[in-house]
Amino acid sequence: MADYDIIIIGSGPGGYVAAIRAAQLGYRTAIVEREHLAGICSNWGCIPTKALLRSAEILHYGQHAKDYGLVLEGTFKADLEAIVKRSRGIAARMNNGVQFLMKKNKVDVIWGEATLTKSSDKDRPGTISVVPTKKPPVQPQVPPPKNAKGEGTYTADHIIVATGARPRALPGIEPDGKLIWTYFEAMVPAKLPKSLLVMGSGAIGIEFASFYRTMGVEVTVVEVMPQVVPVEDAEIGAFARKAFEKQGIKILTSAKVTKVEKGSDSVTAHIEDEKGGKLTITADRMISAVGVVGNIENLGLEALGVKTDRGCIVIDGLCRTNVKGLYAIGDVAGPPMLAHKAEHEGVICVEAIKGLHPHPMDKLMIPGCTYCHPQIASVGLTEAKAKAAGHEIKVGRFPFVANGKAVALGEDSGLAKTIFDAKTGKLLGAHLVGPEVTELIQGFVVAMNLETTEEELMHTVFPHPTISEVMKESVLDAYGKALNA
C-alpha cells in the first residue's frame, strides 16, 4: 500500500487547492513544499503586488483630492517602508491561511525538495524522494508548519506536479538582484529609484510600471511587440497606452534591449527598434519582466520519460501527462500562467482521478486581468483572432465617459468592447479597460460559460447607476442599439 493516495509537489494556488479537493473526496493526501506555502502568488505575486498597488491608488487619490472637492491639510506622501511592510504582512497572512487550510483538511505537509524516481510498482507513477531544501530562490518569511514532515521517501498512487514557474532571464541581461530586478526585488525596494526601466509590458511589467510611476519614479517601458500588453485586443492596448503616457510613462514598442552595461548605481540599456534605430537609456534600476519559465528542472522527469515542451510539462485537458498516474497543473503545465487557471486545473485533475467526469479545461474561458491604472481585463478572442478564425463578427464598443457612475467617481477613462459571431450571436470575446474592470469581467466569463447569446444579454437588467452598465451598452452597440452613446 502506498503512503498516500495523492501527493502534490508544490503548494501554490494549483497545488494547495488540489490538495484540499483531494481531501474533500476522501483521499489520503500530502503536499510537498520546498520554500513557502501558498506559492509565488500569495507570497511574491498576485496578492502582495495588489497591496502595493492599493497603496499607490490611495496616494493617487490623495494627490488629486481637490478634484473631489476635498482639501488635505499637512503633508501627504508615501512612506515606502510602511508600504512594503504592509504588503509583506499581507503575504504572511495568506501563507498562514494556507497552513490553516492544510491542517483543517488533514493534508500532510512534507517540507523539502522533491525528486521523482521510477517505481518498482508498475501501477504507480514513481517514488518521491524528499531532501532538505538546499538554497531556495527566495527565503521563506514564514517558517514551515511545526508538524511538517521532512526528508524521506514517499509513495503515492497519483502524483501531481505543481511546481510553478520563475522569472525568465534573457542571455546577457540576467537579473542580479541589485541593479537589474525581477519581481522579487521590485516588491521590496529599500528606497525608490529616481528612474526605472521596465523590460516587458505584460501584466507583471506594466503593473510595476504603474506602481512606480504613481510613486513618482520616472518610468520607461520597452516592449518588443508592436503594442503594450501584447496579449490584449489591439484597440484596448492602444487605449491603455494613451492612458499610461498621459500619466508620464514613456513607452517604446517594437523595440528590444540588446545589451546592458552596469554602473556603480545605475544601468545603461542599449535599445534597438524594428527599423534598426538605436538609442541608450540610463536608469537607476531595471526590471526584467519578459515572462516566466516552468520549474521542471531537477524533478526527475527525464527518468520517467515525461514529455515536455518549451520549458513546460505537456498535459491533456484533464491534466494527465504521458506517464500513467502522473499529472501536472498550473504554470509548470504551460500558459496561460495564471493563478485562477492553476486552481481550476487542480480541481479538474483531482475530480478526473476520482472519476467524476469534469469538463476539460477550455483556455478561451480563462479571464486575464492586469491591475495597472487603468485596469485591463479580457476573456475569449480578440477582434483580430476572431477574424483569423474565420468568424463573421459584430463588434460593440462603449466608452466609460458616457457612464454616469464612472463620471461620478471621477474615473471616466475607459472602454468596453464585445465581439459576437454575426451568424449565431455567440459571445466570442469581451475586452475592458477602465476602473474596476477586473471585477466586471467575470460577468462576461459566466455569460460565455453559459453560452449566452446577445439577445439574452440585452434582456438582462443591469443595476443603475453602476459601472457594469458599460457591459450591456457594448452589447447593444454591437447590434446598433446603444442607448447612452
Band of residue 119 on the pLDDT scale cut at 50, 70, 90: confident
Q: Where are the alpha helices (DSSP H) in 331-431?
A: 339-354, 383-388, 404-409
Task: Give 18's contacts (C-beta < 8 A, 6+ positions apart).
Answer: 6, 8, 160, 162, 329, 345, 346, 347, 349, 350
According to the model, what pLDDT value does residue 143 have? 78
Band of residue 126 on the pLDDT scale cut at 50, 70, 90: confident
First to last CA, the chain: 67
Q: What is the mean pLDDT of the chain?
A: 95
Considering only CA atoms, which of 259, 252, 268, 260 is closest in space to residue 200? 252
SS3 content of the chain, % helix, strand, coil (to 5): 35, 25, 40
Listed in order, the ranges of the chain carrying CATH 3.50.50.60 are 4-45+83-167+293-364, 180-290
**Which grid coordinates belong to 246?**
498621459
Give the range among 95-104, 123-132, 264-273 with minimum mean pLDDT. Answer: 123-132
In whole angstroms, give the CA distance from residue 78 to residue 336: 34
Question: Mean pLDDT, to the nearest integer, of 300-308?
Answer: 94
Tell me which amino acid residue 324 is: K
Considering only CA atoms, which of 196, 257, 197, 255 is closest in space to residue 227? 255
Of all residues in the chain, the percent with pLDDT exceeding 90 is: 92
CATH classification code of 374-478 = 3.30.390.30
Residue 374: is the preceding peptide bond cis (ω within 30°)? yes
According to the model, what pLDDT value does residue 294 have? 96
According to the model, what pLDDT value does residue 377 have? 98
Beta sheet of 393-399, edge-to-edge order: 368-370, 375-380, 427-434, 415-421, 393-399
Band of residue 434 on the pLDDT scale cut at 50, 70, 90: very high
Band of residue 147 on the pLDDT scale cut at 50, 70, 90: confident
**Which grid coordinates belong to 225?**
511587440
Band of residue 323 on the pLDDT scale cut at 50, 70, 90: very high
Point out the catalytic residue in the list 36, 158, 270, 464.
464
Q: Is 464 a catalytic residue?
A: yes
C-alpha separations of 303 from 91, 306, 400 in Å? 36, 8, 55
Of all residues in the chain, the percent with pLDDT exceeding 70 is: 98
Asked if pLDDT for residue 136 goes beyond 90, the answer is: no
According to the model, what pLDDT value does residue 385 have? 98
CATH class in words for 180-290: alpha beta
According to the model, what pLDDT value does residue 73 have? 86
**Which grid coordinates belong to 90?**
499581507
Asked if pLDDT for residue 140 goes beyond 60, the answer is: no
Question: Mean pLDDT, to the nearest integer, of 315-332?
Answer: 97
Q: Give me the count of residues in the chain.
A: 485
In whole angstroms, give the CA distance from residue 482 to residue 480: 6
Band of residue 137 on the pLDDT scale cut at 50, 70, 90: low
Listed in order, the ranges of the chain carrying CATH 3.30.390.30 are 374-478
Structural Rg of the chain based on CA atoms: 24
Considering only CA atoms, which of 252, 262, 253 is closest in space to residue 174? 262
Question: Mean pLDDT, to the nearest integer, of 209-223?
Answer: 98
Pairing of strands 165-167, 29-33: unpaired
Question: Mean pLDDT, to the nearest integer, of 117-137?
Answer: 82
According to the model, what pLDDT value does residue 1 have? 64
CATH classification code of 4-45+83-167+293-364 = 3.50.50.60
Predicted TM-score (pTM) of this structure: 0.96
Cβ neighbours of 294 (radius 10 Å): 24
